[in-house]
């Protein structure tokens, strides 16, 4: 007996926010903590909307809530670090997604004067200068020019957000398979 395919959820304009969120929840995203150093001390915020924009020049963008005081402080600092969380850093994710007073109590942070805080054990890091910021609906987009970047010396799987939950990559499915070259990607 064959099962019938699920009925797709169809949107009408304007999109219902709950349906929009549920459908976009199908897209797995990385989880990062973006940090900066300000005259008042270190600041940071968890973001799930982070991506590369350009290879030349090297640009990335993250999105934070329009009313986020942390995002405003990061933009005001002129420089930030993207800490790509590893799968065992869920506590750090939760701390920086909350309004906890001392977010930096979660995780092992390298706090050097004048430098954006760096999370030890993260999967990767990117230090950026703020290139621009602009309103994007109920968020603010922060465009950064990458100045320094590094990945962990040993393989660290990323923490992933999918279907409204923090998830880990399944190691059983982590086998290498040949892929086709993206010729269009390099042109």
Q: Is 87 among the domain residues?
A: yes
Number of domain units in the chain: 1
DSSP label at residue 22? H
User: What pLDDT is stored for residue 60 in this prediction?
Assistant: 98
Evaluate whether residue 86 is within a structural domain: yes
- Flag whether 11 is in a domain: no
pLDDT, tens digit, 9 for 90 and up, residues 132-153 = 999 999 999 999 999 999 999 8
- The phi, psi pair for 21, rounded to 5°, reads -65, -45
Please report, for residues 5, 47, 104, 185, the alpha-carbon distance to residue 121 in angstroms, rounded to integers and kept in the order given.
42, 18, 14, 31
Confidence class for position 4, pLDDT limits 50, 70, 90: low
Residue 165 pLDDT class (50, 70, 90 cuts): confident
| Stated pTM of the model | 0.83
In a domain? residue 3? no
Q: What pLDDT score was predicted for residue 26?
A: 76
pLDDT single digits (tens) 7-55: 665 545 567 888 878 887 777 888 999 999 999 999 999 998 999 999 9
Nearest alpha-carbon partner for 64 in 120, 160, 121, 76: 76
**CATH number, position 70:** 2.30.110.10
pLDDT of 108: 95
pLDDT one-digit tens code per residue, 87-134: 999 999 999 998 888 899 999 999 988 899 999 999 999 999 999 999
pLDDT tens, 56-81?
Answer: 999 999 999 999 999 999 999 999 99
The answer to whether the Cα torsion of 127, 132, 135, 137 is positive or negative is negative
The reply to whether 17 falls in a domain is: no
Does residue 148 lie in a domain region? yes
The single-letter DSSP state of residue 158 is B
- The answer to whether position 52 is within a domain reads yes
What is the sign, positive or negative, of the torsion defined by CA atoms of 104, 93, 131, 55?
positive
Please give the residue range of the domain that contains residue 61.
30-153
187: pLDDT confidence band, cut at 50, 70 and 90? very low
- The answer to whether position 15 is within a domain reads no
């Amino acid at each position: 007996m064959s099962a019938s395919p699920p009925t797709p959820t169809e949107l009408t304009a304007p999109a219902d926010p709950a349906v929009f969120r549920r459908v976009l929840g199908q897209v797995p995203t990385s989880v990062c903590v973006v940090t900066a150093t300000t005259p008042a001390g270190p600041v940071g915020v968890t973001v799930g909307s982070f991506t590369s924009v350009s290879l030349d020049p090297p640009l990335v963008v993250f999105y934070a809530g329009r009313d986020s005081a942390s995002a405003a402080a990061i933009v005001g600092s002129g420089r930030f670090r993207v800490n790509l969380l590893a799968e065992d850093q869920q506590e750090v994710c939760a701390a920086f997604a909350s309004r906890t007073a001392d977010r930096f109590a979660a995780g092992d942070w390298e706090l050097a004067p004048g430098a954006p805080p760096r999370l030890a054990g993260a999967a990767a890091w990117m230090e950026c200068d703020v290139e621009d910021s602009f309103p994007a609906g109920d968020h603010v987009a922060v465009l950064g020019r990458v100045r320094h970047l590094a990945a962990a010396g040993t393989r660290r799987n990323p923490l992933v957000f999918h279907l409204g939950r923090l998830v880990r990559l399944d190691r059983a499915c982590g086998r290498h398979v040949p892929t086709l070259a993206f010729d269009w990607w390099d042109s």
